[in-house]
Structure 1
Amino acid sequence: MTTTTVLDHWIDGAPSPGTGTRTGPVYDPAQGVVSKQVRFGSADDVAAAVRAAKAAFADWSQVSLAKRQQVLFAFRELLLARKDELAQILTAEHGKVLSDAGGEIARGIEVVEFACGAASHLKGEYSVNVSTGVDVYSLTQPLGVVAVISPFNFPAMVPLWFFPLAIAAGNAVVLKPSEKDPSAANWMAALLKEAGLPDGVLNVVHGDAEAADALLTDPEVASISFVGSTPIAQHVYETATARGKRVQALGGAKNHMLVLPDADLDLVADSAVNAGFGSAGERCMAISVVLAVESIADELVAKIRERMSGLRTGDGRRGCDMGPLITAEHRDKVRSYLDVATADGADLVVDGRDVQPDGDPNGFWLGPTLLDRVPTTSSVYTDEIFGPVLSVIRVAGYDEGLELINASRYGNGTAIFTNDGGAVRRFQLEATVGLIGVNVPIPVPVAYYSFGGWKASLFGDAKAYGAHGLAFFTQEKTVTSRWLDPSHGGLNLGFPEHD
């Protein structure tokens, strides 16, 4: 009888079993088997991690920017040297193919590199002689203990959006990763320790809603960074802000690609397949809806279908194009939408349920699926399916397409494909969406810009990473200073005036 590995928490620089008695299964989605168990943290375990972070913050916040940067530089070098090891972990627990896992890590490293240069963004301002003999200057200081709650679809990249910036600014972090694919968090915490990060500056507590809610309500936690579905993002925002915490809560999405008649349809078809089925559609920036102007819709659907026929679904360690979904339950939920689509009158052009995977038959498989003529009243259109289902909606032109985009409750990302500069200029100003792509299907910005949507895709005022992200983890203090000289004028009880 084999013993299943149990993944511990990471508290104060070392693995910790904690006090919680519950565990949860971690699957290899390509094989459909439990690969390990992960401990579910109790409220006491969260409190222990917060205590460790608070104790570490006292010293780490006083460490020079130069030394903080040295740790992050060393972490970057270790990540680059061992990225293949991390990619194997991601593929084994999430199911995404190795090339996609490598891309996730690369985008996370971009934020680490931005954090390495955080000193230039943490400078205050200085104004001399704002009043006679009076100077005013500002300081940026860390918040204290900050928490990150990250989702299953990017178990490395999303934590890397947050904790390097928080650490660079002098904070201490408690990270709660998804219980579905938790190992990457411990791996990165151990790597940071190897890079020289003091114990307690980054802690990892695993678990489900119990651990998450404990972080939201812990009085020592100053801020919450969250990425996940919109209902949970709203819960996180409302619960944490009610307790005076800063919150950046990134929610769900339903991203549209508007295709005008003058677009390069080969580029569009490639982009729709890449953005719709990469990571099995389990991306908040996946293109899930193609708005095709009627005059080119038939041709575009044919081109997308042709490209889909060459995709190989299977085990991500075998060089396939698309892997499984994260769990059997999620796979079954996504599959159920196909019955809804046909019942609502959509054309099922490619049925992913017919896929013959290159992998274990017990894996959580659903192949790429293409729907045409999807009614906008169908839940297939209105819901965030979060799977490899691409819907085509036919529109009369630009105005109808824009109206659908702006009517969506979500506002994460969108794209327009055209060679018409006037249409692009209108679109970038008129689309009520936070991230716009022009002939780019997944407009995730580079690390020195910031990531985040509008409407129900973002709760809170601060986006992730970039200038927004770094500002979120700091607080400004303004000092008004006068150094007295022999001309000191003595007492004056009047209201101070600038002279």
Structure 2
Amino acid sequence: MSSIATVIPHFVGGARLEGTSDRFADVYDPSTGKVQAQVALASKAEVDAAIANAEAAQPAWAATNPQKRARVLNKFITLIYEHQQELAELLSSEHGKTVPDAKGDIQRGVEVAEFATGIAHLLKGEYTDAAGTGIDVYSMRQPLGVVAGITPFNFPAMIPLWKLAPAIAAGNAFILKPSERDPSVPLRLAELALEAGLPAGILNVINGDKEAVDAILDSEVIKAVGFVGSTPIAQYIYTRAAETGKRAQCFGGAKNHAIIMPDADLDEVVDALVGAAYGSAGERCMAISVAVPVGKETADRLIAALKPKVEALRIGAPTDPDVDYGPLVTQAAKDRVLEYIQIGQDEGAELVVDGREGKVEGDENGFYVAGTLFDHVKPEHRIYKEEIFGPALMVIRADDFEQALSFPSEHDYGNGAAIFTRDGHTAREFARRIDTGMIGINVPIPVPIAYHTFGGWKKSGFGDLNQHGPDSIRFYTKTKTVTQRWPKPAADGGEAAGGSHFVIPTMN
């Protein structure tokens, strides 16, 4: 039994379900450092029970025509907008991002749900009339059955919605295993989906740790799993999913670069970098963490302009409308960032702005790190090779465009990269040649809109199909192809059967 008054439960079969494992994890208020609740951690038996519930509910949902499923999603979206302030404040209280940023988190998730409301069109197959003599061929997309999503702490609304909305629209039942660090918003989303008319059991939320993850991976009922988190766990889930015959799309870490050409508008670049690097305390997989100015003059001008901007960043309680960003999610996350700052110093990078002493008056125990800026970072430095996931921007100087291009292309991670330039040819060469999955041209955070697809390359992404857009429908459905022939009966003047044929049919 938990010693904390507030215990966040699971959501199974259309109702909140208290945990029975007698295992709990602390949920913190990042701005004060205090435990505000505990969340129940599911046992394998609890996960299996949720999966069985989903398996029982799924056939009737799959048999519901896609237009009716879309209507449920439309009502769900309406309810999310009606509760957006409540959801944003709840998200902010557990994650630490500011309330306006939390609203953006919710909005980007809703946009994928809006895309999924077109499911009646998105599920349409192909048809070929008279592919052969008297033969037609057509295809249909059908749901996989029960699918799962394992989602991260840094976007507790957006990523669950990216996963569950297309999956449910396509006729699947969904098992959501959100982060145990900020589990309340996924729980509320499930309740709102039920209120919107989603049948009980189609969306189940199971809170847990590795035991719950392994139970999902071991299940023979679950046919696909989507994951967003760190690269080591992405690789683990992708490998384990393959062993049990599941589809998997697993997205890991990132080291996103922004190349600054000498002709770029420096004021625009600085504003873009500060927002992209330090927003949400840098806890974004698409945050710009590496600036690559081309040429010494560009680099010197960039550092001179960045330094006062970073020093002036305002940190504080996420409910304060005047702060730029709030705390990190946990003490462990803060300690990790502080350790990397020390590593960078020890490696010889120039610490231009040191954010380690960032404090908020009255909340000295909050998980705050002020803005940090490094210059003269080298490719061999750990702070360059590894993901820090905090409010730290590093500058690695390039002599020319070719060297600048090589940094993101040769990095282990390949999530996103951006370039700032006024030259169309340079931008085109960058877009064509860069070895990353998502590209920004004078756009600092190149997250595609909902009806395109989101996904990184190399160690940032594992699997052939990406998140949202048409890829999401392909991922959560299987294609069935029908070849049909309706010969005219011989009694009605049709040709008599011509006997058995032992040669493979061809278009000849």
Q: TM-score, normalised by structure 1?
A: 0.98
Q: 1:358 deviation in Å?
A: 5.4
Q: Which residue identity does 2:237 align to in structure 1?
A: V
Q: Which residue of 2 aligns with 1:299?
A: 301
Distance 2:150 2:348 in 1: 39
Q: Which residue identity does 2:500 align to in structure 1?
A: L
Distance 1:363 1:405 in 2: 34
Distance 1:359 1:280 in 2: 19
Q: Which residue of 1 aligns with 2:348?
A: 345
User: Which is further off, 356-365 or 202-211?
Assistant: 356-365
Show CA shifts across 1:300-339 (max 9, x none): 1111112223321010001111100111111011101111
Distance 2:409 2:339 in 1: 27
Q: Does 1:16 align with 2:23?
A: no
Distance 1:195 1:179 in 2: 25
Corresponding residue SS for 1:273: helix
Distance 2:220 2:210 in 1: 18
Q: Does 1:477 align with 2:480?
A: yes
Corresponding residue SS for 2:472: helix
Corresponding residue SS for 1:387: coil
Contact 1:225 1:248 in 2 (8 A): yes
Show CA shifts across 1:138-159 (max 9, x none): 0100000000000000000000
Q: 1:137 deviation in Å?
A: 0.5
User: Which is further off, 2-11 or 286-295?
Assistant: 2-11
Name which of 356, 360, 374 aligns with 1:357.
360
Q: 1:341 deviation in Å?
A: 1.1
Corresponding residue SS for 2:319: helix
Q: 1:19 deviation in Å?
A: 2.8
Q: Does 1:324 align with 2:331?
A: no
Distance 2:73 2:215 in 1: 29
Q: Which residue identity does 2:299 align to in structure 1?
A: A
5 Å-filtered alignment, 1:306-321, equals 306-319=308-321, 320-321=323-324
Corresponding residue SS for 1:348: strand
Q: Which residue of 2 aligns with 1:410?
A: 413
Q: Which residue of 2 aligns with 1:434?
A: 437
User: Which is further off, 145-154 or 358-367?
Assistant: 358-367
5 Å-filtered alignment, 1:365-384, equals 365-384=368-387
Name which of 490, 493, 498 aligns with 2:497.
490
**Unmatched tracts of structure 2, length 5 or more:** none
Name which of 392, 399, 409 aligns with 1:389.
392
Distance 2:386 2:403 in 1: 20
5 Å-filtered alignment, 1:69-88, equals 69-88=70-89
Distance 1:498 1:223 in 2: 36
Q: Which residue identity does 1:123 align to in structure 2?
A: K
Q: 1:134 deviation in Å?
A: 0.8
Q: Which residue of 2 aligns with 1:463?
A: 466
Contact 2:67 2:119 in 1 (8 A): no
Corresponding residue SS for 2:345: helix
Residues paired across the two proteins, number: 498
Matched residues, percent identical? 49
Corresponding residue SS for 1:353: coil
Q: 1:484 deviation in Å?
A: 2.3
Q: Which residue identity does 2:178 align to in structure 1?
A: P
User: Which is further off, 200-209 or 371-380?
Assistant: 371-380
Distance 2:350 2:433 in 1: 31
Distance 1:312 1:6 in 2: 33
Distance 1:326 1:131 in 2: 61
Contact 2:311 2:371 in 1 (8 A): no
Q: Which residue identity does 1:351 align to in structure 2?
A: D
Contact 1:415 1:438 in 2 (8 A): yes
Distance 2:405 2:243 in 1: 36
Show CA shifts across 1:202-243 (max 9, x none): 000001111011101111000000000001000000001111
Show CA shifts across 1:38-93 (max 9, x none): 00001001101100110010110100111101100000111111111110011000
Q: Does 1:168 align with 2:169?
A: yes
Distance 2:433 2:4 in 1: 57
Q: 1:411 deviation in Å?
A: 0.4
Corresponding residue SS for 2:204: strand
Q: Which residue of 1 aligns with 2:285?
A: 284
Contact 2:42 2:212 in 1 (8 A): yes
Residues 1:203 and 1:28: Cα distance change in structure 2 (over 3 Å):
same
5 Å-filtered alignment, 1:51-70, equals 51-70=52-71
Distance 1:220 1:359 in 2: 50
Q: 1:488 deviation in Å?
A: 3.7
Distance 1:126 1:426 in 2: 39
Distance 1:219 1:436 in 2: 38
Q: TM-score, normalised by structure 2?
A: 0.96
Distance 2:50 2:440 in 1: 40
Distance 1:290 1:497 in 2: 57
Q: Which residue identity does 1:342 align to in structure 2?
A: Q
Contact 2:4 2:37 in 1 (8 A): no
Q: Which residue identity does 2:385 align to in structure 1?
A: T
5 Å-filtered alignment, 1:193-204, equals 193-204=194-205
User: Which is further off, 337-346 or 160-169?
Assistant: 337-346
Distance 1:269 1:358 in 2: 28
Q: 1:497 deviation in Å?
A: 4.3
Contact 1:259 1:290 in 2 (8 A): yes
Q: 1:353 deviation in Å?
A: 1.3
Distance 1:470 1:301 in 2: 44
Q: Which residue identity does 2:454 align to in structure 1?
A: F
Q: Which residue of 2 aligns with 1:398?
A: 401
Contact 1:342 1:348 in 2 (8 A): yes
Distance 2:221 2:376 in 1: 52
CA RMSD in angstroms comes to: 1.1
Contact 1:312 1:357 in 2 (8 A): no
Q: 1:464 deviation in Å?
A: 0.2
Contact 1:19 1:44 in 2 (8 A): no
Q: 1:18 deviation in Å?
A: 3.6
Corresponding residue SS for 1:395: coil
